[in-house]
Amino acid sequence: MTPAASAFDVVIYHNPDCGTSRNTLALIRHCGIEPHVIEYLKTPPSRALVVQLAERSGEPLRALLREKAAPYAELGLADASLSDEALLDAIEAHPILINRPIVVTPKGVALCRPSERVLDLLPEGVQGAFAKEDGEAVLDVQGQRVG
């Protein structure tokens, strides 16, 4: 672990059933950081925190919605006229609607889809190769991004 990594505070809003979330968590750990893991389905973030995460990511609240989640279509959330308050009501009632993983570091906040997007939020100096669960290479043996 590099000195920079040991002092780097990372929070991941994680769903262990999601491959992208698992890959992001593994990539953070590969960088020598043990993040604070919040399984948001067990411990949902407050409305205020969801708003803050969206604002800090620079994305509209709607960008944090998972469209593939079952209640998305059933609740009519594709309706662009819905207010942020209506979206927050839906998220509060159905935390599965939060897209994941969301990662918070001193460098910023981002929805890390694809998982390698987390590298923009982590300190430099990653060592060694890393591949996703499906075998897709993300980092080469020098720790450089592949692709």
Alpha-carbon span 75 to 139, nearest angstrom: 40
* Paired sense of beta strands 36-39 and 11-14, if any: parallel
Distance, CA of 127 to chain centre: 22
Residues with catalytic roles? 18
Q: Are 146 and 137 in contact (CB under 8 A)?
A: yes
* Paired sense of beta strands 102-105 and 11-14, if any: antiparallel
User: What residues have CB less than 8 Å from 25, skipping those under 6 apart?
Assistant: 12, 14, 35, 37, 101
Residue with token string 């923009």: 120
Alpha-carbon span 65 to 97, nearest angstrom: 5
Q: Give the 3-state secondary structure of residue 70.
A: helix
